[in-house]
Amino acid sequence: MCLIVLAWQIHPRHDLVLAANRDELYARPTRALDRWADQPGLAAGRDLAAAGTWLGAHEDGRFAAVTNFHERQEAPAPLARSRGDLVAGFFAAGETPEAHARRIEARAAGYAGFNLLLGDAHSLWYVSNRAPVFAQPLAPGVHAISNHLLGTAWPKLQQAVTAMHAHVDAGSADLQTLFATLRQREAVSDGIQGLPWPAGAGPFVAGEVFGTRASTVILRERRGATVIEERNFGPGGSPAGAARLTLVPRMAA
């Protein structure tokens, strides 16, 4: 996934509004958004190559998402863990975001670079093995990450943040406006020369071998249900199906 923008605890109706694009090789085997039989209460897509996931939400209010960290040496070491384990492991552990962040810190070096968001009904944490501080709580507001550190001013992030602020200011409950933001294909020009591809491109990547595989929006009502919708795409940005689930809140384990 190469873009996550979320409004945390500031929308008048939803305490969580999240919009995200997952960019990946089209050939990588993937299962679309569904409930996980082996983790009751969890809704997420699934990376069938490594059994993890890039983004998920749980009936108990927890949610998590991960992005790769763009580095010159993109290929991980042969024995590196799949970064999708970080999201799936959070749900399996049944811990608070802070507790889970502290627990994975000791083994963080075993992963290639990552950005990880861990949240529940009460807190939101940003975790990265490339940041100066491994784990930090985030205050209510709009936050965005792509394939660099939280808040890095890449054009596509600025575009997504502006759209999210407009969504919050309008008090909107419309998923379509968020999906429209995620579907922006054009390169965003801000006069910066020599931007690497992930920084200079628009939110949606429509390649033939690599591109945006899934766009996901999550709306969680205050003291209410969570709606999660995923739209899938194939080469060239062609539609490849969609799924929408509603998660009824329940007490955390």
Cα(10)–Cα(15) distance, integer angstroms: 6
Q: Which CATH number fits domain 3-247: 3.10.20.600, 3.40.50.720, 3.60.60.10, 3.30.70.1400?
A: 3.60.60.10
Instruction: Indicate the Cα dihedral angle 25, 109, 86, 220, nearest 10°.
Output: -100
In this predicted structure, what is the pLDDT of residue 198?
55
Residue ranges of domains in the chain: 3-247
Q: What is the pLDDT along the chain (253 residues), one digit of tens a residue?
A: 589 999 999 999 999 999 999 999 999 999 999 999 999 999 999 999 998 999 999 999 999 999 999 876 555 555 578 899 999 999 999 999 999 999 999 999 889 999 999 999 999 999 999 999 999 999 999 999 999 999 888 888 999 999 999 999 999 988 999 999 999 986 554 444 444 555 557 899 998 999 999 999 999 998 889 999 999 999 999 999 999 999 998 754 4
Looking at residue 192, its pLDDT comes to 45
Q: What is the pLDDT of residue 79?
A: 54
Q: Cα(138)–Cα(144) distance, rounded to whole angstroms? A: 11
DSSP 81: B
The helix/strand/coil state of 76 is coil
Distance CA 41, CA 38 (A): 9
Q: Output b/e per residue, 167-206; b: 16+ Cβ within 10 A.
A: bbeeebeebebbbebbbbeeebeeeeeeeeebbbbbbbbe
Q: Is 32 exposed, middle or buried (0-12, 13-18, 19+ CB in 10 A)?
A: middle
**Amino acid identity of 119?**
G
Residue 193: the pLDDT is: 46
pLDDT score, position 133: 96
At residue 252, the pLDDT reads 45
Which of 145, 139, 66, 59 is closest to 100 using CA atoms?
66
Contact by Cβ (8 Å): 83, 71: no
* 47 vs 236: CA distance, rounded Å: 21
Element (H, E) at 104: helix 97-104
For the range 206-210, what are the long-range contacts, defined as Cβ-Cβ under 8 Å and sequence gap of 24 or more?
206/233, 206/236, 206/237, 207/235, 207/236, 208/235, 208/236, 209/25, 209/26, 209/27, 209/235, 210/23, 210/24, 210/25, 210/26
